[in-house]
Amino acid sequence: MEVGYFNSDSYDTPVKKKLNLWEKFLLNNRLYFIFKYADVVLSTRKHARRGGYDTKAWADSSFCIFRFIEKTGGIFHISGMENIAKTAEPVVFISNHMSTLETMILPGIIAPHRELTFVVKESLVKHPLFGDVMRSRNPIVVQRTDPRKDFEAVMIGGMELLSKGTSIVIFPQSTRRVEFNPEEFNSLGVKLARKAGVNVVPVAPKATASDPANVKSPAAITPVLNVPPVNVIVTVLLSELVVK
């Protein structure tokens, strides 16, 4: 069964063939990822400025990043993708925020099935590189300085988007964490889902690396020269949680 870019409800990065010396030099360093990532960022920014960066383009660019993370030694284990489109109505995806990694790869996993947007910080929509792309996705913008205003923004904006069929990804934690904390499900995302009468789909990405700090930035999720080829293993679990 086709599941977006994947052919089943789960996915595991295939075991790679042994690399030759040139491939080891090219792929096992940060520069390859930085150049490839920069190319995607600049091309999508240009596309968004022209008004043509739609959900399909977003999913395509996300999956492109997914593939060259794999090419540079990243390993993905994804399960529970059947929960993405189990219902026809929109849902609220609640994910731990471990790094920029999930914001890069989740659109490629989810957006082929659903109209989607994120709850994002105001600084992202004003960012000189990412701002055009983020604004094109019609996100819910929060400031993280006034909890009351952020609550109103998510509840009002979220209700409107969900009523139009757009699903929402929200990160309940105020800070980045590698571990997923189920206790924080009594959160803004659950309150929004209950008010809108839609389901919640928990998303639990977890990354392990030779250096845990390596999952904190996009340029750091690739192998570093002179370290083992597999520098980051990402496990993404999408579960079903009904809160209606």
Q: Is 234 domain-assigned?
A: yes
Q: Is 65 domain-assigned?
A: yes
| Contact partners, residue 57, CB within 8 Å, separation at least 6 | 44, 47
Segment 99-147, tens digit of pLDDT: 777 888 999 999 999 999 999 999 989 999 899 999 999 999 998 788 8
Residue 141 has a pLDDT of 95
Residue 28 has a pLDDT of 60
Instruction: Check: CB of residue 151 under 8 Å from CB of residue 157.
Output: no
Q: Is 93 domain-assigned?
A: yes
Q: Is 133 domain-assigned?
A: yes
How many beta carbons lie within 10 A of that of residue 4, not counting itself? 17
Q: Is 68 domain-assigned?
A: yes
> H helices then E strands: how many in the chain?
8, 8
Q: What is the pTM of this model?
A: 0.82
| pLDDT of 190 above 50 | yes
Segment 56-106, tens digit of pLDDT: 999 999 999 998 888 877 888 888 888 888 888 999 998 877 777 788 899
Domain of 99?
11-238
Residue 219 has a pLDDT of 40
Q: Which residue has the tokens 């042994």?
A: 18
At position 42, the amino acid (one-letter code) is L
Give the number of domains in the chain. 1
Average pLDDT estimate for 35-51: 92
Coil/strand/helix, residue 99: coil
Segment 195-231, tens digit of pLDDT: 999 998 888 887 665 433 444 444 443 333 333 333 4
Residue 86 has a pLDDT of 85
| Contact partners, residue 186, CB within 8 Å, separation at least 6 | none
Q: Is 185 domain-assigned?
A: yes
Q: Is 6 domain-assigned?
A: no
Q: Is 141 domain-assigned?
A: yes
